[in-house]
Structure 1
């Protein structure tokens, strides 16, 4: 039995920095990883996919260079092997830096293997047993493939396997019209594939407000992506020309014939196989580890960070989980998950930056609300760049004058949204921001005007 002060299972976004803080505090720490270091973000998520998005955008801009007065001779070609190699290098370089950092960390024991609870203080990796008074779970999540009719009869891709492609699909079928599915849909359309998206819900991105869903659909369809929503009876079947997509339970003509199909319908936590029952750790019905506002499980001395706790599904929320636990455990602080303002981005073109409540969520609170909305055609930076699709909007509490939520769907919206996020975090009333003097020409310079337009109307 090897004894440690702490055992961390999983080397994703929260595990390594937590290990570093504990080692700095003089603890002996074991970090266990059964796969590659870096977790989803580095290996199968943000880093490789955003590298692919960048390549796709380069192809798209080159094809349309004439609108900026730039003449590109000949058709634009995409070398998918080089595109894939570039994305892979982004991943391997990041993983290599992480491996070097962890490998040189005094007081850290890095172990590779499948960790499983023997009891609430003991972890077994094969024949080896480890014990510690503190155990931190950072095991992440993986792609979820639901029970789609015919899925077992066709080859299918997930968000993890599609990034390994180094050839261009002739026609990509995307099952799932939410964040991951739409990023890959636009990406492969820009690489040159025909793309069809099918979504069970009545609109794309059902968690967003309807105006955002509609604007994003318009932008994607303008690039030639075919979109089917309200598809309650999705089915897949082998076809002489590839894979048939059915929307009517298998009868009638297929809605599309694709060469490849991507299933992008969600993720599930990597909690099966951990032996959580042996430790008495509680989970919810979907397999997420139940944690309190300070990320502690129901078993004293065991915490869960990142995607596996169901309190966030992003790299930045996983890292913030580390920050919360480190502050509370090592710095005598009292930080909580409920203090976190939800924020995220959708990396299509134009990108969507989102913070706080949607309009629908704000209305559900019963508060007196103020709304404002402005088109990106009012933004000098967008006009100069020739990218005026989208809009920005904000909702605020009429009595407290606090910003409750905002969205920027437009060029650089994923960056500009941080001005509103920071103001919300600081609790700054919106009238204060109206007198800010932003730099011209930027996307953010319209924010004071946006806030100045807040009024008690449906949507400003």
Structure 2
């Protein structure tokens, strides 16, 4: 007999957006709202299990191996670091398990009003879903007047001749490695491909990246993308830009990859292939047509900035939503916006001031629009680039090759974009987010004291570059 469940709020998915929404709804109702959370796979979703957490752990481990061998300060002798890749991966998986337990399993158990149901959901109508197990057997039906879809996404696998037959890794499966392959070909030069690629290269693997676009990280400024390419090439990574993989085949214990480049077709032999060509939404099995929920061509759910879908009473949040950026912090915020609007508020998500980052070293981070984007939007813009060679803290660290760029409206001086390639760029970009969100001008930045010497001082120097030649400034000039 199929169990029937009724809730005040039904959440489909159990990742970052789902947990944020469940916690917010519980707070709004003083713990009185009955909430059902339907999910499958490891609780916690992408970020803690196969995304942000393991990738940053691996990056930190790899930096600890690589940079002592490549010191950037005079007088420090390169030192060999001995390490055990298998033990690093054991530590990574152990950390992920502990994080999942602490931040998700234990958290949900603390909310008596939340019922977690393992299984996949399929809409029967706009208020009811059936929940089925891995075998396809229906185990329950759940109904609610308010539903949040937060099913996340999964790696996209391109249709490349011989790829599936030859075998490959993705950002979901690379964490299962116990032995470091001697060489990798990474398909995709976005954030995932560059982060995992640099980590593997730092640990000693030969890494080749094939990217279809003409430059890396098109979401940031061209000069930053070019500088990232230069730095990673200096560290030994190889890149094929404006190129695509035509086929993959087995060649003994290795894999032969045919790559179409501007020079013609080249064959590259590697030990392993990592696919990092983006992600696709987990919406294909939801039967959204029965609920009247519209998606774009790729299957992402279409919402307004209030997270409402095309069906009254159904909202969506997280990586299954059609938008420009896919971030855990953004997913969590969308979950809060969705449930707040369900229960009487009028809240909107602010995508324009949401910062993003790539955790290579040096890090890349940005917020707002680029010079090209604002020029197209407004007809003109003004911008300045601070080379980190002009920033004392960066040169002390031997990291003068990065930069910070600020984009402003030329009429008002209002800051509309901040982009950085720098150590700790992920920490300093929050200042840029406040500037974009609240309409700060360069004068607002300049009139605020910054720590010297620090990387964050670079934001102030970049702002000062609109008013003076910073190469002719002494330290801490106001």
Provide the rounded CA distance (Å) in 1 between the counterparts of 2:444 and 2:107.
Answer: 43
User: Is the CA contact (8 Å cut-off) linking 2:382 and 2:407 kept in structure 1?
Assistant: yes
Which residue is equivalent to 1:20?
23
Q: Which of 398, 401, 406 is the aligned partner of 2:410? A: 398
Rate the CA distance shift 1:345–1:146 in 2: closer, same or farther, 3 A: same
The alignment partner of 2:373 has SS state of: helix
Displacement, 1:241? Answer: 5.3
Provide the rounded CA distance (Å) in 2 between the counterparts of 1:202 and 1:300.
Answer: 42
TM-score, L = length of structure 2: 0.90
Any residues of structure 2 matched to 1:104-119 within 5 Å, and which? 104-119=110-125
Deviations 1:207-242 (A, max 9, x none): 333212211110010011111112145322222351
Provide the rounded CA distance (Å) in 2 between the counterparts of 1:82 and 1:65.
Answer: 25
Any residues of structure 2 matched to 1:35-74 within 5 Å, and which? 35-65=41-71, 67=73, 69-71=75-77
Which residue is equivalent to 2:474?
none
Q: Which of 91, 107, 118 is the aligned partner of 1:86? A: 91
Displacement, 1:366? Answer: 3.3
Q: Which of 292, 307, 310 is the aligned partner of 1:295? A: 307
Rate the CA distance shift 1:370–1:48 in 2: closer, same or farther, 3 A: same
Provide the rounded CA distance (Å) in 2 between the counterparts of 1:151 and 1:210.
Answer: 31
Rate the CA distance shift 1:255–1:335 in 2: closer, same or farther, 3 A: same
Provide the rounded CA distance (Å) in 2 between the counterparts of 1:253 and 1:202.
Answer: 17
The alignment status of 1:223 with 2:240, answered yes or no, reads no
Provide the rounded CA distance (Å) in 1 between the counterparts of 2:381 and 2:116.
Answer: 52
Count, aligned residues: 453
User: Is the CA contact (8 Å cut-off) linking 2:62 and 2:202 kept in structure 1?
Assistant: yes
Which residue is equivalent to 1:313?
326
Q: Which of 218, 223, 233 is the aligned partner of 1:211? A: 223
Deviations 1:309-345 (A, max 9, x none): 1223110110110222243334x43221346423200
Provide the rounded CA distance (Å) in 1 between the counterparts of 2:149 and 2:354.
Answer: 22
Q: Which of 67, 77, 82 is the aligned partner of 2:82? A: 77
Rate the CA distance shift 1:328–1:185 in 2: closer, same or farther, 3 A: same
Which residue is equivalent to 1:194?
206
Rate the CA distance shift 1:113–1:364 in 2: closer, same or farther, 3 A: same
Rate the CA distance shift 1:323–1:181 in 2: closer, same or farther, 3 A: same
Structure 1 stretches (4+) deviating beyond 6 angstroms?
Answer: none
The alignment status of 1:179 with 2:191, answered yes or no, reads yes
Provide the rounded CA distance (Å) in 2 between the counterparts of 1:10 and 1:279.
Answer: 17
Provide the rounded CA distance (Å) in 1 between the counterparts of 2:266 and 2:182.
Answer: 17
TM-score, L = length of structure 1: 0.94
| RMSD across aligned positions (CA) | 2.0
Deviations 1:91-111 (A, max 9, x none): 111111111111121211111
The alignment status of 1:350 with 2:355, answered yes or no, reads no
Displacement, 1:79? Answer: 1.1
Unaligned runs of 5+ in 1: none
Unaligned runs of 5+ in 2: 132-137, 469-478
Deviations 1:233-286 (A, max 9, x none): 53222223511121239x987442100000111100000111212212111110
Provide the rounded CA distance (Å) in 1 between the counterparts of 2:87 and 2:254.
Answer: 26
